[in-house]
Amino acid sequence: MSKRKAHNLQARIARSCRSLLASNHVAVVNIDPSGRQGMINYKSLKNIAPGKIGQAVCSIPHRWTIYMSAMCIDARGDRYSKSVELAPDGVYLSDHLEDVIEHCYKKLRDEANQSQMVASGWIAIPEAMSLDEAHAARIFEAVGAWHQVKVASCAA
């Protein structure tokens, strides 16, 4: 029989953080060109204030599911989106996700029709799950991806 450390604080903290995120159905959402980034409950579609949940997202590595989308409006005024779901191998800290997301996100934006693109964004969920297109569309609608104002850049 294998022996384990009776009181492994780091493992307890990691389990506690994962449990907190799973029970709150946390997703990190980023929308361009407004630059909005925040957390949302992907089931109830309500915003999550930073605090203990934000610390749980940032402090320990997770298996991530990332859903990227370019939102467009065609000549007839109909909405459509070009999307891709990515599930990187391994566990990543939230700070290290930028390298994973950047290449695929840029490629998706470049492939979309630039004259019809209204916005683009990604949803990162700190658990291994799949997100269907309709659910992702509801999340993007809840954070105002289709109705946003571009943030003015501060050129000093």
β-partners of residue 65 are: 125
Domain ranges of the chain: 9-142
Q: In this structure, are residues 47 and 39 in contact, taking their beta carbons and an 8 Å threshold?
A: yes
Q: Quick one: fold of 9-142?
A: Dna Ligase; domain 1 (3.30.1490)
Contact 57, 96 (CB under 8 A): no
pLDDT at 149: 59
* Amino acid, res. 156: A
What is the spatial distance between Cα 61 and Cα 38, in angstroms, rounded to a whole number? 18
Q: Could you read off the pLDDT of 30-65 as tens digits, one per residue? A: 998 888 889 999 999 999 988 888 888 888 899 999
Q: Which of 28, 27, 30 is nearest to 151 (CA)?
A: 30
Render pLDDT for 1-20 as a digit per residue (tens, 0 to 9): 667 677 888 888 888 888 88
Q: What is the pLDDT of residue 123?
A: 94
- Work out the average pLDDT over 59-88: 91
Amino acid code (one letter) for 7: H
Structure tokens at 62: 């997770």
Spatial contact of 65 and 127, defined as CB atoms under 8 Å apart? yes
In this predicted structure, what is the pLDDT of residue 152? 44
For 49, 78, 91, 108, 152, the CA distances from 81, given in Å and listed in that order, are 28, 10, 28, 11, 25
- Look at the block and give the residue holding tokens 């925040």: 38
Q: What is the pLDDT of residue 107?
A: 92
